[in-house]
Amino acid sequence: MDAYVEKGAADADDGRPTPPAGTGIEAPPGPVTEPFTGPTADGSGGSPAADRGGVGIMALSMPYQVVLAVALAVAGVFACVHLAMVFLHVAPSNTLTKRHGQAVDDWVYPEFEQNWKLFAPNPLQQNVSVEVRAEIVAADGSRRTTGWIDLTAQDTEAIRHNPMPSHAQQNELRRAVDFYLNSHSDDHTPNGMRGRLSEEYMRRIAMLRLADLSGDVERVQLRTVTRAVPAPGWSSEKNDTAPSYRDFPWWPVTDADRPAGVDRSRTEAGR
């Protein structure tokens, strides 16, 4: 019994568990595994990640920490500048916008343009398309007028099923027509230089779309076709969906209106 007590005391000294007295079971041989105690107050011990220098960003090497810090700083500065520019754009006129209005507009347009049509009490309920026709002189000197070509339908076809349509396909025609209507009277009289510039812009858009026509385009005419959006099937609302037309004047085409590389010599040679 004394020998067992002495052996048990020795086992207790080396850290191994001591079996209860009287069971006849001896402590298993082998080294003692120290339990995980976590980091100590002086920073010693702890997990392997802590031993390597920390967790998260601090676990990265110094070059990666510098790159990540610079990236976060650039993103933060860009976000602050963008929010400030958008705020100045939608804010009432003030000293900053009067002095730096052009810089604000250059930042906002066209990607971050703000408008309230989506939230207007009476949002747009019409589909407006733009059509063009041309008077063409053939190589033998005969003249003919094409049918109406739906330019908006061309853009719609290019946008449909395209995950990244161009800004021109989405907005060029719409913005051009708005530019024209806002710079002309109801009888198509231009209001100064902006009105004449809008006519040139419309002609050049039309000529770009008509570049594949055979013959020499002498004149072009555009028109807008407005159709009311039909009421949904579940609604009792009735509206007239018949199209209404607004014809623009016939405009003679100048050499400046023709796309680069296209001139009148190709048809004049055959006359």
pLDDT digits (tens, 9 = 90+) for 55-97: 677 778 888 888 989 999 999 999 999 999 989 888 888 888 8
pTM: predicted TM-score of the whole model, two decimal places = 0.56
Q: What pLDDT does residue 44 have?
A: 52
User: Can you give the length of the chain in residues?
Assistant: 271
Identify the pLDDT of residue 51. 53
Q: Indicate the Cα dihedral angle 100, 101, 105, 108, nearest 10°.
A: 70
For the chain, the structural domain boundaries read 57-108, 126-231+239-268
Q: Is the pLDDT of residue 270 over 50?
A: no
Cβ–Cβ under 8 Å, residues 27 and 17: yes
For residues 183 and 202, what is the distance between their CA atoms, to the nearest angstrom?
12
Angle at CA of residue 219, ends 184 and 150, nearest 5°: 75
| Residue 119 DSSP label | G
Are the C-beta atoms of 162 and 222 separated by less than 8 Å?
A: no
> Residue 150 pairs with which residues in a beta bridge?
131
DSSP state letter for 110:
T
pLDDT at 269: 40
CB count, 10 Å around CB of 130? Answer: 26
Residue 241: φ, ψ to 5°: -100, 10
In the three-class reduction of DSSP (H, G, I as helix; E, B as strand; rest coil), residue 255 is classed as: helix
Mean pLDDT of the chain: 80
Mean pLDDT throughout 231-252? 88
Q: Which helix (H) or strand (E) holds 105?
A: helix 95-108
Residue 221 pairs in a beta bridge with: 133
Contact 223, 251 (CB under 8 A): no
Distance between CA atoms of residues 178 and 182, nearest Å = 6
